[in-house]
Amino acid sequence: MSYLRKHPFLALIIVPAFILYMVIILRSGSYYCFHKECGIFFWGVHGHDAIWHLAIANTSFNSFPFIAPTYSGRLLTGYNFLFDWFVFFLSKVGIPALVTYFKIFPLVWFIVFTSLLISLARKIKNSPSFIAFVLFFAYFSNSFSYILNLYHNGTLWGSSGILATLSVHTMSNPPFAMSLLILLLILIIVKKNHLDTKTVVWLGILNFINIGLKFYGGVLGIFLTSIFIFSKSLKKPKELIVYSAILSLSVLFSVFLFYDPFSSMKSGSIFAFSPFALIHTITEEPSLFYMRQITDARYYLLTKGIGPRLISIELFNLTIFLFFYLGVSFFGLLYGIVGTVTGAIDKFNRYILAVIILSIVLTATLVQKAEWWNVIQFFYYAIFLSSLLTAQLAQKIFEKKSWVRIILISLMVILSVPNSVDVMKHYGSFPGSAYLPKDEIEALAFLKKQPAGVVVAPLYDLSIKQFPGPNPLYAYEDTSYVSAFSGHPTYLANILQLRLTGIDYKSRLEKLKRQDCSMLDEVDYIYETVKHPSMVKLLSCKNRKIRRLFKNSSAAIYEVN
């Protein structure tokens, strides 16, 4: 705050960024009414992703070992749940999970994120103009998806959803947002360029936390820490061994605590080697930078084996991918590469570049179990780190004694803005895309007061989704909302997350589709949506004592004896 008082012009960047970031998250999780439909509304991905985190926070930690919220009888493994545990902890001291997730966290995060950015920027170059560039590009680094949208559809609106790799989307992914704070702390320590046992212990603690927050960020944080320790201790083998041991122990402890790798690996490896699978989409998808001749040539050359032409095509694909996904930060990446080759940038920036390259390599060579494209989350960190290099490039241009600098800086700023405007329009509209109706709030509050037990709820049915929305959560997507708002584990829900955590759900899914009466041996409550009933067959099972506990215009709850 003292620094901002000295340089109040920085508020011209911070205030618009604060408004934009808060618009994305702050209104979700609040009670509104729209056309006589009242309830808790959610905007964007919060209607699915946030519900999953709330399900973990309100359900998983009520017993030990921690349980899977949407697959009763299974432990919570293979998942970075540290952020959710923090939300749970605050709920136990009287702060509801909805309030922490949608109100307290965003405000605290933005303040800390901005403070850490200023702190790191001052260590790199203590110049108000440079700090302004760091703040701007860290807040607003966006893709060039609007160019593609303008070409294909003749409009800028809707561009932010084409390549979902925008800095302003950070508030759509709170665990990722938290991991950026840890990464900034690691960068600040590395920039100090001092290494001793105390520093390594702190780095070990930060990497432990980062792995628990976000696996992808944890991997990159470990890499950054490792190359820093290695470069500082290369000529001191005893220290290198001790420091490596400290870091390794913290990493192993975190991996086993949060991911239980032995259980998670039972369903197969989390990642598979599939070079350029994600990269190829940029020139293969008709809605993107479609190039049929390049694609046809690549498929043909694959039959002939690896050669110079195939390599050149793949490098072209990678360049196009990086250009559109990084946007203006693509030039920051080039600045880092050229600076490394020529020796124009220091060791700290080479560390940053090394982490960026690793994130690109992991994105380009791997696919992930369940959702193959999910490796794009490695790339999120490349976007953030590239923004630091972009700020340095902008500062170099700014220091030039030429009128051309005004044009170049203005172009960098203008080209970064369009997707942010589109995000503001999307999240600033009313109402949100999904909501929990007030009658379901009442029903789930009633269920929450019942003795602990397993709930079976209807499968998600896409046919009842209305366009345009808003849709009740049960008609919006396959979510975890029954667990999120009742605190009870469900028999089966949110199949996407079950796939991501490696749970074999198929036999249970078939039972639920058939309304197999044998399911009732494994559940204690039946939750039925009144407007779209789908549990009729299950409720008529013979030789089962089923008693209705609650009913209103939206939901009915039955107890299974």
pLDDT of residue 385: 97
pLDDT of residue 542: 84
Q: Which residues pair with 30 in a beta bridge?
A: 41
486-503 tens-digit pLDDT: 999 999 999 989 988 888
Per mean pLDDT, which of 253-262, 461-470, 482-491, 513-522 is the most reliable?
A: 482-491
Instruction: List CB contacts of 497: < 8 A, sequence separation 6 or more.
Output: 52, 70, 480
Residue whose structure tokens are 């955590």: 501
Three-state SS string over 264-323 comes to HHHHCCCEEECCCCCCCHHHHCCCCCCCHHHHHHHHHHHCCCCCHHHHHHHHHHHHHHHH
Mean pLDDT for all residues in the chain? 93
| Local structure of 436: helix, strand or coil | strand
d(CA 341, CA 188): 24
Average of pLDDT values for 13-40?
94
pLDDT of residue 3: 86
Distances (CA, A) of 537 to 482, 491, 515, 516, 526: 20, 17, 6, 8, 12
Amino acid occupying residue 438: K
Amino acid occupying residue 329: S
CA 140 to chain centre: 17
Judge whether residue 469 has pLDDT over 80. no
Judge whether residue 267 has pLDDT over 70. no
Average of pLDDT values for 539-543?
87
Q: At what angle do helices 105-124 and 128-140 cross, to 10 degrees?
A: 140
Average of pLDDT values for 1-17?
91
Judge whether residue 265 has pLDDT over 70. no
Q: Which of 162-166, 344-348, 466-470, 472-476 has the lowest mean pLDDT?
A: 162-166
pLDDT of residue 125: 95
Q: Which residues pair with 526 in a beta bridge?
A: 456, 558
Average of pLDDT values for 305-329?
94
Average of pLDDT values for 357-383?
91
Judge whether residue 270 has pLDDT over 90. no
Average of pLDDT values for 71-93?
93
Domain ranges, ordered by start, for the chain: 135-428, 434-468+478-561
Closest CA to 206 of 232, 185, 190: 185
474-490 tens-digit pLDDT: 999 999 999 999 999 99
pLDDT of residue 168: 85
Q: Which of 300-309, 314-323, 445-454 has the lowest mean pLDDT?
A: 300-309
Average of pLDDT values for 434-452?
96
CA 346 to chain centre: 31
94-110 tens-digit pLDDT: 999 999 999 999 999 99
Q: How many CA atoms lie within 13 A of 438 on its CB side?
A: 8
Instruction: List CB contacts of 245: < 8 A, sequence separation 6 or more.
Output: none
pLDDT of residue 167: 85
Q: Which of 128-132, 187-191, 253-257 has the lowest mean pLDDT?
A: 253-257
141-157 tens-digit pLDDT: 999 999 999 999 999 89
Residue 291 binned pLDDT confidence (cut-offs 50, 70, 90): very high
Average of pLDDT values for 79-91?
95
Residue 247: count of CB within 10 angstroms of its CB: 20
Residue 498: count of CB within 10 angstroms of its CB: 22
d(CA 30, CA 102): 9
Q: In what order do the strands lie in the sheet with 546-551?
A: 455-456, 525-529, 555-560, 546-551
Average of pLDDT values for 273-290?
93
Query: Cis peptide before 431, with omega less than 30 degrees from 0?
Result: yes
Whole-prediction pTM: 0.94
Q: Which two tokens stand for residue 166?
A: 């925008």
Phi–psi pair at 430, nearest 5 degrees: -135, 135
Average of pLDDT values for 516-524?
93
The C-alpha R_g of the chain, in whole angstroms, comes to: 25
pLDDT of residue 266: 63
d(CA 74, CA 77): 9
